Structure 1
Amino acid sequence: MNWLDKMERKIGRFAIPNLTVYLLAGYVIGYFVILLMPRLVLWLTLEPALILRGQVWRLISWVLIPPTTNLISLVFLVLLYYSLGSVLERTWGTFRYNVYIFSGIFFTVIAVFILYAVYYFVFGVEMPLSSVGLISTNYITMSIFLAFAAIYPDMEVLLYFILPIKMKWMAIVYAVMALYYFVRGGVGERVAIAASLLNFVIFFLSGRNTRRFGPKERARKARFKQQSAPHMKYSGGAKHRCAVCGRTELDDPCLEFRFCSKCNGNYEYCQDHLFTHQHVK
């Protein structure tokens, strides 16, 4: 059991279902704020100097800033990431998906504060507001895309609802674009890109158990469950029965059952007969 499993057992009940909907709804709110009250957006940005002076709402409000102010692009973005995020949440589970999104937000905030500390303690000046700019969760949502492509690399999507393309090729294009913007972009954009990639690497690639969410592993488990289901239905609704004594978990909830790898067939034994039975050949 890795660290995510342990966290889920302790605080999994606090996970927010359909987190993608709330994130995308925030984009819509931010779009109308920029459209109707453009000056108000200056009170939403992630600015460490202003946060340290008491404007703590900026730790969260920057999430409302949409990645684009073009209405058509925003509509395509909302439709795409609603689909990807919903599938990813069903694949990972609500808690793991929550951790993935919130860790990306957390890494971005920490990275901006580290940048502020470098300006303040190394150069002796406060970080200029123009150095960060309007940081949005654009690259955090793009990390959703990367995670989806890593799990379902051969799944095809319709680019702009017209061109069919596999996720792995879109992921390669994204990686090239991210590298380009990292080299040519400003400090704020580099921070956002690095934070999103760090989130992907730490959460996804470093987790050895994430392979069990892949389509091949899930298909294998489904086949095994389907093949073993007829052999694991007994009277009274029991799912386990010892092939020697006939006891089930209904007779004693403390009994443990295991299949024997040396027996030919699906033979299950209780803890008292697992090592003492005669193997079926």
Structure 2
Amino acid sequence: MMAFFEKLERKFGRYAIRNLMMYLTALYAVGFVISLVNIQIYYEYMSLDVAKILSGQVWRLITWIMYVPEQNVLFAAIMLVLYYSLGTNLERVWGSFRFNVYMFMGYIFLIIGAFILYAVYGEAASVFLLTPDSLNMSIFLAFALTYPDMTFYLYFVLPIKAKYLAFVYLLIEVYSFIIGGVITKVSIGLSLLNFVIFYLMTRNWNRISPKNVVRQVKFKKAVKMRPAGEPIHRCAVCGRTEKDDDTLEFRYCSKCKGNLEYCSDHLYTHTHVE
């Protein structure tokens, strides 16, 4: 699956939208201003209402993502800055193409879900208007998977690692899925499905191959023989080690010869050594 995804990236990567999160954040900001003026404008002219889309209002396929769930200025500003930071960091590590695929695949899943609801409930589906809330939160899941030991400060005071926040978030989402109505189940289910599919699609399964397991065993033996004080990891691109930044994560590339490892900033962007 990873090889197939890399072929897609080589073929279509040049069409990826660079700095996608900047454009999405701008759309959210516009949506927030509109909600302050009159939130009904969103529901009447911009929401993901399939019946109105089929009647010719195709712009709703884009404008629905401008929905802002909170009209508090401070909260909205914090969320915009947070998600812009998370998204841009993911794009920097994954590359523009992969980040584009993650975001647009999530939007497409939710649009398909809206059409399925319309097929099942007909005109009554207008009460089940999907919003991108859960998809936006799945950005944090992806970030936590990429940077599990990154520290966030809850309420600007309590330090907690991203992986623990992600676990708590998953518990909340599962609980909301269980007790929620149709709209909640569809929104959460499709957003988490996007996260799972993307993770499986981009995971390097060669890391758990017998050949790679043997290489890891050899590496552990070599580490035991390493002189005291010497760094254990070193990025083959930038030369940084865990001693330069203790938040850096290092991974081997199964496609590069010579047991080369890379930091998280260059794992997906380096040129393979044949």
Same fold (TM over 0.5): yes
Superposed, 1:144-223 pairs within 5 Å as: 144-209=139-204, 222-223=235-236
Q: In 2 relative to 1, CA 224–20 (structure 1 residues): closer, same or farther, beyond 3 Å?
A: closer
**Structure 1 counterpart of 2:202, one-letter code:** G
Q: What residue is the counterpart of 2:24 in the other structure?
A: 23
Distance 1:57 1:7 in 2: 28
Shift of 1:63: 0.6
Kept in 2: contact 1:31–1:66 (CA 8 A): yes
Length, aligned pairs only? 216
Cα distance, 1:221 vs structure 2: 6.6
Instruction: Specify the alignment match of 2:50 in structure 1.
Output: 48
User: Does the CA-based 8 Å contact 1:76-1:160 persist in structure 2?
Assistant: no
Question: What amino acid does structure 2 have at the position aligned with 1:173?
Answer: V
| CA distance in 2 between partners of 1:96 and 1:220 (Å) | 26
CA RMSD after TM alignment: 2.4
Q: Distance in 2 between matches of 1:191 and 1:153?
A: 27
1:142 to 137, 144, 151: 137
Structure 2 gaps, min length 5: 208-231, 241-256, 259-274
Deviation at 1:174, TM superposition (A): 0.8
Q: How far did 1:225 drift?
A: 7.5
Deviation at 1:177, TM superposition (A): 1.4
**What percent identity do the matched residue pairs reach?**
47
For residues 256-267 of structure 1, what are the structure 2 equivalents within 5 Å? none
Partners of 2:155 and 2:206 in 1: CA distance: 30
1:154 CA drift (Å)? 1.5
Distance 1:220 1:140, change over 3 A: farther
For residues 19 and 140 of structure 2, the distance between their equivalents in structure 1, rounded to whole angstroms, comes to 16
AA of the residue aligned to 1:106: I
| Alpha-carbon separation, structure 1, partners of 2:64 and 2:109 | 14
Cα distance, 1:196 vs. partner? 0.8
The secondary structure found in structure 2 opposite 1:67 is: coil
2:68 counterpart of 1:73: no
Task: Name the counterpart of 1:244.
Answer: none
The 3-state SS of whatever aligns with 2:18 is: coil
Q: TM-score, normalised by structure 1?
A: 0.70
Q: CA deviation at 1:223?
A: 4.8
State the secondary structure of the residue aligned to 1:222. Answer: coil
Map 1:103-142; keep pairs closer than 5 Å.
103-120=105-122, 126-130=123-127, 132-133=128-129, 135-142=130-137
Query: Relative CO higher for 1 or 2, CA cutoff 8 Å, sep ≥ 6?
Result: 2
Structure 1 residue 16, shift from structure 2 partner: 1.0
**1:128–1:111: structure 2 CA closer, same or farther, 3 Å change rule?**
closer
1:142-195, CA deviations, whole angstroms, 9 ceiling, x for partnerless residues? 111001111221111122332211001110111111122222333222211111
Normalised to the residue count of structure 2, the TM-score between the two structures is: 0.72
Distance 1:93 1:224 in 2: 16
Which structure has the larger Rg?
A: 1
- The residue type paired with residue 126 of structure 2 is L
Q: Which aligned segments of 4 or more residues in structure 1 are displaced greater than 6 angstroms? A: none
> Is the contact made by 1:67 and 1:137 (CA closer than 8 Å) also made in structure 2?
no
